[in-house]
Amino acid sequence: MALLDRSDWYDIARDTNWTPGYVPREEIFPPQLSDPYGIPVEQWETFDEPYKVSYREYVKIQREKDSSAYSVKAALSRSKFHDDLDEGWASVLKLHYGAVALTEYQACQFQARMVRFGPSPSMRNMATYGMLDELRHAQLQLFFPHELVSRDRQYDWAHEAAHTKNWAVLGGRHAIDDIMMCRDAVTGTIMVSFAFETGLTNLQMVGLSTDAANMGDFTFANMITSIQSDEARHAQLGSPAIEIMINNGKKKEAQQAVDVAFWRMWRLFAITVGIPMDYYIPLDQRHLSFKEFMHEWIIRQYDRQVRDLGLETPWYWDLLADDIENHHHCQQGGIWSWRPTVWWNPPGAVGPREREWLEEKYPGWNDSYGTYWDVITDNLLHGREEKTHPECIPIICNMCQIPISNRPGEAWKARALQLEHEGRRYNFCTEPCRWIFTTDPDRYKHHLTIVDRMYSGEIDPPTLDNVLTYMGIGVVSEGGRDGHDYSWVDGFRTQAAE
């Protein structure tokens, strides 16, 4: 028996709106959870997702994706890959799983909100697949690192990170709570489906796969690109929502949602992808620099999609270009210096050859970031390891929760941008982080950074040991050390001898 073509029945199967007779529509779809912009339901009924799939197709395709991911893993887990793995790549994996695995469950909850409260039936239908997608992503990224826990306890952060108050986790949670957990379905789909999932997730899940393949980690490369194939589909929830917003006089609101969400996730992804690509991955396995991947995926592909939808390039795009040259280099310095506070072993990885590569990819690196590492290198060469650990506490941005920093060199430009609000002073790393606060101060004003918690008495007394315990270090696993046991300074020793 011949089946009907999908297009012959798709609209009937999908369009499940009806007119409620017993209660007003607003009680079923409260504006705070559904659409706070007051766009008429008939307008939402024009929502037509560009990437269509039926449930029958979905199940078949997802089964195929999962069989592939799990069978590649099963086959390669018999290899000796993890036996003599470079700790730089191990750090990429630990950072990735800790930052991403349980966040997928939050993404699942967010999709579930769209399934229930999306104002359009097509949106609810597509989000059902999105919700199942995110469940799959969480399960993959919990299961894959699990077998590594017995080798190295730091892999346990895949499951544990989200349950701790580690400073890096606080940063991720603040952003994810903001864009996923505490938004209505419409604002959320613009922020998550469009601003996040058509943009930066590509770097984490596709860009990084290039380096994974070069490392020979085909299990990981295969898994993350499989995940992103789901994202490429359910991310398409965002564009029809943005077009309906624009057509109904809500362009300004849509633009703000895109601009807020992109910047929030950028500040985090520069750490979870930028540092691995330019520092943790062994030099000979690097394919492109983080900056080159950013140009491919964001400056070219993402921005083009923003403009094609009728929105504008975010107002801070010049600041982003500057941040691409600086943010992750600053944080590599910071995280390495504060290595006991993280759950991976960040390699300094700035030996003579690496510095040559960094200078080529980021002209001026030696005269700026290089001067910071000169001091550290000199201390390590002269047996003063203790001097490579900082003694003062950084100032943390009250938006992204990341230490405030800037390009070193002759004139060190680090400064906090401040804001007084209801008698409290807030510090921000950049103009966009401060701007985001001003878009909705009530949403953000009560949050305390890790450093605020040291002064507020929440961590009492705020000794180093207490702070580390508070952050889960020594509880879930030991904290970080230099991933290469400082072997990257050996090149300078050889140079000096010559």
Partner 1 sequence: MSGGEDARKNSVGPVLRAGEVADAVVEAIQEDNPDKQFLIEDRVAYIRIETEGECVLRQETLSDALGRPITMPEVEVNLTSFAGRIETTDTEMRFYLKKSL
**Least spacing, CB of residue 339 vs partner 1, in Å:** 29
Nearer to partner 1, 202 or 337 (CB): 202
Amino acid symbol at 465:
D
Sole binder of partner 1 in the list 32, 301, 463, 494 (CB under 8 A): 301
Please work out, in degrees rounded to the nearest 5, the angle formed at the alpha carbon of residue 220 by the alpha carbons of 214 and 226: 110
CB of 212 vs partner 1, minimal distance in Å: 6
Q: Which stretch binds partner 1 (CB under 8 A): 27-35, 142-150, 226-234, 384-392?
A: 226-234
Question: Binders of partner 1 among 445-484, rule CB under 8 A?
Answer: none
- 313 is a site residue for partner 1 (CB under 8 A): no
- Separation CA 192–CA 242 (nearest Å): 12
Q: What are phi and psi of 250, to 5 degrees?
A: -115, 35
Length of the chain in residues, anyone? 498
For residue 498 the two structure tokens come to 């010559």
- Helix then strand count (H, E) for the chain reads 26, 2
Q: Does 61 bind partner 1 (CB under 8 A)?
A: yes
Binding mask of the shown chain, residues 185 to 224, with x at each position contacting partner 1 by CB under 8 A:
-----------------x--xx--xx-xxx------xx--
Q: Determine the Cα–Cα distance for residues 69 and 66; give it in Å rounded to an integer.
A: 5
Minimum CB separation of residue 198 from partner 1 in Å reads: 8
Kindly tell me which residue out of 15, 45, 177, 296 binds partner 1, with binding defined by CB under 8 A. Answer: 296
Say whether 339 sits in a helix, a strand or coil. Answer: helix
Cα atoms in the Cβ-side hemisphere of radius 13 Å centred on 24: 4
Q: Pull the structure tokens for residue 333.
A: 């310095």
> Could you say whether residue 415 binds partner 1 (CB under 8 A)?
no
Buried b (16+ CB within 10 A) or exposed e, 317-331: eeebeebbebbbbbb
Rounded to the nearest 10 degrees, what angle do helices 369-381 and 490-497 cross at? 80
Draw the binding track, 28-57, toward partner 1 (x: CB under 8 A; -: no contact). ----------------------xxxxx--x
Report the distance separating Cα 201 and Cα 185, nearest Å.
Answer: 20
Q: Which of 44, 47, 65, 276 binds partner 1 (CB under 8 A)?
A: 65
# chain residues binding partner 1, by CB under 8 A: 45
Distance CA(182)–CA(447), nearest Å, equals: 14
Q: Taking CB under 8 A as the criterion, which residues in 3-32 touch partner 1?
A: 5-7
Binding-site member from 300, 353, 389, 413 for partner 1 (CB under 8 A): 300
Q: Which residues bind partner 1 (CB under 8 A)?
A: 5-7, 50-54, 57, 60-61, 64-65, 68, 202, 205-206, 209-210, 212-214, 221-222, 225-226, 228-229, 231-233, 236, 239, 287-288, 295-296, 299-301, 304-305, 307-308, 321
